[in-house]
Structure 1
Amino acid sequence: MDPMYTGSIISSLCTIAGAVPAMFLKHVSHRGRDILLAYTAGIMVAASTYGLIPSAMKLSNIYVLTIGVLLGTVALTFLDSCLPHMELERKEHPFQGGHPLLLIAMTFHNIPEGLSVGVSYGSHVADLGPLVSFAIGLQNVPEGFLVALYLVSHGVKPIYALLCAASTGILELAFGIIGISFAGQFSAIVPYGLAFAAGAMLFVVYKELIPESHGDGNERSATFSFIGGLLTMIALTHFIR
């Protein structure tokens, strides 16, 4: 198989791989859930600031980065204001419980991520494809885990949670293929897409994950877990590159 498509496929499959462990955490304690959410938040912050943002800067400049991050933040703010805020305890239907912002945000920001991976390979710039694919694929693992864990912990059946996580990965793969096919037309938006994904991710961390993990008396353990996730992602990026 063409390495360009292999890179896009592996990057997208990382979302599903990350979701699988969350399927077995249905009965995790509230404290354990807060710790896991905080750990995932730390990983996502590091993925944004140590992976996506540097990649965007490598391809552009501070002005493009600022625009992209702000676009991602504004887009998620708009979604947050438009989506209904439902009670977390309603579990009659797998998609009734919980604020849908997290799932929609992950789906929404996977579009520019997929395009970025595809265009990076299609551009034929030396080592750009593997670098972007690695950065996005690595942070897709905690994203998949987060989506599945969030849904399972709010009463969604594990199989539905896995399917939701898988759907975001499949969407990213589809846009990765589009990016490869139309690399010339989309090449200019790659740094914007990377910065957009970083802004969207940071919004979700601060708006959803940190409040979720700090609202029930587990602030100290969640804080240390956040730092642990941050250092884990930085170490992985450092040693695997």
Structure 2
Amino acid sequence: MTALIASTLTGALTVVGAFPILLGTKPSERFNDTLLGFAAGVMLAASFFSLIVPALAIAGETYGEGPIPGAIAVIGILLGAIAISALDRLIPHKHFVTGHEGPDSAKIAGVWLFVFAIAIHNFPEGMAVGVAYGSGETESAFALALGIGLQNLPEGLAVAVGLLSVGYSKLKSFTVAALTGLFEPVGGLFGGIFVNISALLLPWGLVFAAGAMLFVISHEIIPETHRRGHHQRATAGLMIGLVLMLFLDVWLVA
């Protein structure tokens, strides 16, 4: 239950991030890419400091020194990346927009691909929170949930701005952005149930969630922040997000 509540709250911050659209506020592309870079930095730090490192420690306590903890991390990370890659290939993103009048269909399809990419990667974020709370490490789980919640703010705004830019109304842009956050509690519930089946599954769940998030960072978020030529600001945002998440993890877990 705690995992579901925590992942629901982090997902709800997607709604908060999209809210400025209803007020008529549309950030510049440069500012938006900077925020998305920040989100990538938070996710990158969370993947390592809140998921991979604790997984290695737990596996080390269970299996002792040797190759097994490292092997679990390698296999689990790759499995997480493969799973999200499969979702990205199998879900029919472009089928959601048909018969549109106005902006060209190719541009609309691209926006919807990004919308569903955000929705898809909200699932592993929620799963990461669920697994962390399922582990019983409350301080570490809170740091992770706080970091993911913070990076959901610019993601919600990015989805809403993307839809607004190709002709959708403010209300519809906000609504779709808000709905992408619903994938997070689903992932949280799945992660919480998974790690409670057996303690032996805990390190696997942590590194699987990390692999899923790392795939999204490289495949979706960073390319999105660089495609309009704002790579310097996006990189600065990534560095700030990374060190902020590192600080939160050290401060709240210590």
Cα distance in 2 between the residues matched to 1:112 and 1:133: 9
Q: Counterpart in 1 of 2:11?
A: 15
Amino acid at match of 2:31: G
TM, length-normalised to structure 1: 0.79
Q: Map Cα deviations across residues 87-143 of structure 1 (whole Å, 9 max, x no partner).
A: 67328xxx972342331132255346424523x23xxxxxx3x14522431233145
By how many angstroms is 1:145 displaced?
Answer: 2.5
Asked if 1 retains the 8 angstrom alpha-carbon contact of 2:120 and 2:183, the reply is no
Conserved in 1, the CA contact under 8 Å of 2:51 and 2:207? yes
**Unaligned residue ranges in structure 2 (runs of 5+):** 60-68, 95-104, 164-171
| Deviates further, 213-222 or 101-110 | 101-110
Counterpart in the other structure of 1:36: 35
CA–CA separation in structure 2 for the residues paired with 1:136 and 1:198:
12
Aligned mates of 1:147, 1:14 — CA distance in 2: 12
Q: CA deviation at 1:149?
A: 2.7
1:82 aligns with 2:78: no
What letter corresponds to residue 45 of structure 1 in structure 2? L
Aligned CA-pair RMSD: 2.8
Q: Is the deviation greater in 106-115 or in 187-196?
A: 106-115
Cα distance in 1 for residues equivalent to 2:147 and 2:10? 8
Distance in 2 between residues matched to 1:27 and 1:192, nearest whole Å: 41
Equivalent of 1:233 in 239, 245, 253: 245
In the alignment, which of 89, 94, 101 is matched to residue 117 of structure 2?
101
1:65 aligns with 2:73: yes
Show structure 1 runs of 5+ residues with no match. 122-127
Distance (whole Å) between structure 1 residues aligned to residue 150 and residue 219 of structure 2: 17
Work out the CA distance in 1 between the residues paired with 2:123 and 2:49.
Answer: 21
State how 1:125-204 maps to structure 2 within 5 Å.
128=137, 130-155=138-163, 157-165=173-181, 167-175=182-190, 178=193, 183=196, 185-204=197-216
Q: As a proportion of its length, which structure holds more helix?
A: 2
Distance 1:58 1:70 in 2: 19
- What secondary structure does 1:216 align onto? coil
Asked if 1 retains the 8 angstrom alpha-carbon contact of 2:17 and 2:152, the reply is no
Q: CA deviation at 1:77?
A: 2.1
| Amino acid across the alignment from 1:223 | T
- Amino acid aligned to 2:216: V
Q: Does 1:114 align with 2:114?
A: no
1:66 Cα shift?
1.0
SS in structure 2 of the partner of residue 40 of structure 1: helix
Give the equivalent residue in structure 1 for 2:101.
Answer: none
Moved more, 64-73 or 98-107: 98-107
So what's the TM-score if we normalise by structure 2? 0.75
The reply on whether 1:211 has 2:223 as its aligned counterpart is yes
Q: Which amino acid aligns with 1:217?
A: G
Aligned residues, how many?
222
CA contact (8 A) 2:84 2:121 kept: yes
Structure 2 equivalent of residue 48 of structure 1: 47
Question: Does the CA-based 8 Å contact 1:152-1:161 persist in structure 2?
Answer: yes
Q: 1:68 to 1:170 in 2, by over 3 A?
A: same
Decide whether aligned partners of structure 1 residues 175 and 98 sit closer, same or farther in structure 2, where only a CA change above 3 A counts. closer
1:224 matched to 2:248? The reply is: no
